[in-house]
Chain A
Amino acid sequence: MSTETQTTAVDRGIIERIRASPFLSQLLSNRLAVTGLAVIALVVALAVYARFSYDLEALLTTQFGVNPDEAPPSSEYVFGTDGQARDIFPRVLYGAWYAVLYGTVTVAASTVLGVGLGIVAAYYGDLTDNVIMRTMDVLLSFPSLLLALALVTIFPEELGLWRAVGALTLVYTPRFARVVRGAALKVLEDEYTDATRALGATDPRLLIRHVLPNCLAPITVQSTLNYGLAIIDIAALSFLGFGASPGEPTWGMMLSNGVEFGLFSGAWWWSFFPGLALALTVLGFNLLGDGMRDALDPRMRETVD
């Protein structure tokens, strides 16, 4: 058998699996969700491109003499230049890298923490469950951005935007814990759990091989929705002055500088384009997350009749 036929066989397998999965086929038939997916793919591609083709040093330093400062968008400077005569276009692209990087770390960290806590709480129940979930409840009783603001202060300033990542991870973890605990409890009630246990499966094996895979769908939806939130919240923290260091090409910082120094002296493009990139990226995640939720929750489906 040649390698070529092998890959087609694999491909067909994947397509069949997608067809067989009501979740994926539902999702892919949702035009808005597919649009969201396309936006996210584009942002990730641009982020990776910017990361490997631009020199960060050059984007950070002032470019007086090289470029005009506060030049409006033109064919040469597509998004214009800022008050330090830096070309805004490559900075916005590099901002995508920061958004994807910090967003991914935030969501990944809170997912792992939340999933761990949620599953442990559901499985061990009683005191363990109470201690974990009551702690999560307390964290959930703070408005999220405000808790993040307060939490940023516990990290040393040298960490820069990683402070925002740390704070938001702690803020988002309880949401995952709650969702996962609920899903895990449902799985644990099922008879096949008892059967697996009767066959001699150990706790970790039962949790990882049986409980976790059955919680994947709600976890994925929660992660996607929180991805958009993480990007918008990280930018909000840098807008409020906590996180990014001045000059760093993150969307939040560019937006903050652009509003403070450029917007009312006429240089609207300084803050407009970073903000647009931010809003479109977040919209992408919200479109996808929304579609996922519809696909997951049959009651929310549009075409019931």
Chain B
Amino acid sequence: MVSKQFLVKRLLLLFPVLFGVATVVFAILHLSPGDPAVTIAGERASQEFINEVRGDLGLDDPLWQQYVRFLGDVAAFDFGQSYQIQRGTPVSQILANRLPITIELALLGEVAGLLFGLPLGILSAVRQDTLTDHLTRVGALSGISIPIYWSGPLLILLFAQFLGLLPTSGRIGSAYFVETQTGFILVDTLLAGNVAAFRSAVVHLALPVVVLGIYQMALISRMMRSSMVEVIRQDYMRTARAKGQGEKITIMKHGLRNAFIPVITVIGIQFGSLLGGAVLTETVFEINGIGTLLVDAISRSDYPVVQATVLVFAVLYTLVNLGVDVTYSVLDPRIEQ
């Protein structure tokens, strides 16, 4: 079990990190060239109007005041209003609508990666230095070398254009309307009891999930292999075999549990690359998650949206790593020291 002390310590450590993250985001936006007041007022606005907007935004205040106000707003989850993308809409509302879309995609990508990566890694380790092993390893290295923005369009071309099996973009067919409850399209369609819509969502998400999952699969199988290779040689494995247990059961029962622990760390560390991959996947497949939101917001200088999105990504990443640390210590209590 995790000790309460460890949990409290890890939770307390969150605060300085989040504080630092907020500071970096504030700094980035203030270092950026370009005047938000001009962005809001429009290029052709009069100087008086621009000054008025600047006053309203508090941009004339001393920097430290703006900083303190920013930290206060962030703590209250108040990210202001969008300048451009959905003018006047609170940013928190835009994020609430779009965040589940990205989380769903990322989760599915991770699950796909685990589903294929774990067996491949185990296979590679068990058949160490055979042709299977070499092929799997080169395959995994290729998987992390192929950019999503290349494999994605090519798969669309193959499966959507040539074979006509799958749709090219989006999350669900335009004919379906499903009430948003959780924001996860697969869950919402099921909650609505609309099987046809669910099927459409599955078909739409298949390619994005595969494209995003390839990278995770490659990472997971690599880590699983090297971790399993070590575990196979351990004494307790020999004991299990000596007891007359079959090799398969030995690997699955004793090997998997122990070999999986380092894989969890990799999942945590690589959650950042999963989110980066989600941004690219969303762009390629025209999915309106927070990834495309960030890209749009940056190219249209919608500063409040940029700030909030980057913050949310960093918080997500940090929380997942906290979760990973806690899981790790549950599986391997020695780590608490």
Residues of A bordering B, CB below 8 Å: 32, 134-135, 137-139, 141-147, 149-154, 156, 228, 232, 235-236, 239-242, 255-256, 259, 263-264, 268, 271-272, 275-276, 278-280, 282-283, 286-287, 290, 299-300, 302-305
Between A150, A275, A278, the greatest number of chain B beta carbons within 10 A of the residue's beta carbon is seen for A150
User: Is B57 an interface position by the 8 A CB rule?
Assistant: no
- Whether B306 pairs with A153 at a CB distance below 8 angstroms is yes
Asked if B149 lies at the interface with its beta carbon under 8 angstroms from chain A, I say yes
Q: With A263-B157, A300-B226, A302-B128 in contact, do A279 and B25 touch (Cβ < 8 Å)?
A: no
Query: How distant is A82 from chain B, measured CB to nearest CB, in Å?
Result: 15
What would be 12 A-B contacts, judged by CB atoms less than 8 Å apart?
A139-B24, A141-B314, A142-B310, A143-B314, A143-B317, A145-B279, A235-B149, A236-B280, A255-B147, A279-B145, A279-B150, A287-B141
Q: With A137-B20, A138-B20, A142-B21 given, is the CB distance from A275 to B150 under 8 Å?
A: yes
Distance between Cα atoms of A263 and B154 in the complex (Å) = 8
B144: Cβ under 8 A from any A Cβ: yes
Interface residues of B in 185-216 (CB under 8 A from A): none
Contact of A149 with B24 at beta-carbon distance under 8 Å, contacts A235-B147, A263-B157 already known: no
Contact of B310 with A147 in the complex, beta carbons under 8 Å = yes
Contact A154 B20 (CB under 8 A): no
Interface string of B21-33 (1 = CB under 8 A from A): 1011100100111
Are A278 and B17 in touch, CB under 8 angstroms? no
A232 CA to B144 CA in the complex, in Å?
10
Say whether B149 contacts A259, CB under 8 Å: yes
Interface of B is mostly: helix
Which B residues touch A143, using CB under 8 A?
271-273, 275-276, 313-314, 317
Interchain CB contact under 8 A, B310 and A278: no
Cβ of A35 to closest chain B Cβ, rounded Å? 9
* Nearest-CB residue, chain B, relative to A140: B272
| Residue in A242, A276, A302, A305 whose beta carbon sits within 8 Å of that of B298 in the complex | A242
State whether the Cβ of B283 lies closer than 8 Å to any Cβ in chain A. Answer: yes
Q: Does B161 contact A (CB under 8 A)?
A: yes
Q: Are B28 and A137 in contact (CB under 8 A)?
A: no
Q: Which 7 A-B pairs have the closest CB atoms?
A: A145-B276, A138-B20, A275-B150, A143-B272, A283-B145, A282-B145, A154-B31
In the assembled complex, the Cα of A32 lies from the Cα of B295 at a distance in Å of 37
Residues of B within 8 A of A239 (CB): 147, 149, 280, 283
- Within B100-134, the residues touching A (CB, 8 Å) are 128-129
Write out the residue numbers on chain A whose beta carbons fall within 8 Å of the beta carbon of B141: 32, 283, 286-287, 290
Q: A139-B24, A241-B295 are in contact. List 4 more A-B contacts (CB 8 A).
A: A239-B149, A241-B299, A275-B150, A279-B146
| B217 located at the interface, meaning its Cβ lies under 8 Å from any Cβ of chain A in the complex | no
A282 to B298, CA, bound (A): 27
Complex contacts, A139 vs chain B, CB 8 Å: 24
B contacts with A, residue count (CB < 8 A)? 53
The reply to whether A279 and B147 contact each other, CB–CB distance below 8 Å, is yes
B52 within 8 A of A: no
Provided the pairs A138-B21, A146-B276, A150-B25 are in contact, do residues A299 and B294 lie with their beta carbons within 8 angstroms? no
Q: Is B136 an interface residue (CB 8 A)?
A: no
Q: Give the distance to chain B from A66, nearest Cβ to Cβ, in Å.
A: 28
Chain B residues numbered 258-278 whose CB sits less than 8 Å from any CB in chain A: 271-273, 275-276
User: Restricting to B213-252, which residues have a CB under 8 Å from any CB of A?
Assistant: 226, 229-230, 233
Provide the bound-state CA to CA distance between A145 and B229, in Å: 32
- The smallest beta-carbon distance between A201 and chain B, in angstroms, is 35
Question: What is the minimal beta-carbon distance from A158 to any residue of chain B, in angstroms?
Answer: 10
Most buried by B among A142, A256, A271: A142
B276-290 vs A, CB cutoff 8 Å, 1 = contact: the mask equals 100110011000000
Give the shortest distance, in Å, between A300 (CB) and chain B (any CB).
Answer: 6
Q: Name the CB-closest residue of A to B20.
A: A138
How far is A228 from B137 in the complex, measured between Cα atoms in Å? 17
User: Are A156 and B33 in contact, CB atoms less than 8 angstroms apart?
Assistant: yes
Task: Select which of B146, B153, B154, B313 is within 8 A of A142 by beta carbon.
Answer: B313
Chain A residues positioned under 8 Å from B16 (CB to CB): 134
CB-CB under 8 A from A151, the residues of chain B are: 28
Known A150-B298, A236-B280, A259-B153: A142·B317 in contact at CB below 8 Å: yes
A302 and chain B: residue at smallest CB distance: B129
Cβ contact within 8 Å between A278 and B150: yes
Contacts of B82 in A (CB 8 A): none
| Chain A: minimal CB distance from B233 (Å) | 8
Q: State whether A150 touches B306 (Cβ < 8 A).
A: yes
Task: Report how far A33 CA is from B306 CA in the complex, Å.
Answer: 41
Interface membership of B81, Cβ < 8 A = no
B2 adjacent to chain A (CB < 8 Å):
no
Pairwise interchain contact B276-A228, C-beta atoms closer than 8 A: no
Do A146 and B310 contact each other (CB < 8 Å), given the known contacts A151-B28, A264-B161?
Answer: yes
Given A137-B20, A150-B28, CB of A283 within 8 Å of CB of B142: yes
* Chain A residues near B146 (CB-CB < 8 A): 279, 282
B318 at the interface (CB under 8 A from A): yes
Q: Which residue of B lies closest to A239 (CB)?
A: B149
Neighbouring B residues of A141 by C-beta, 8 Å:
17, 20-21, 314, 317-318, 321
Closest chain A residue to B292 by CB distance?
Answer: A240
When the two chains form the complex, which single residue of A138, A240, A304 contacts B17, counting CB atoms closer than 8 Å? A138
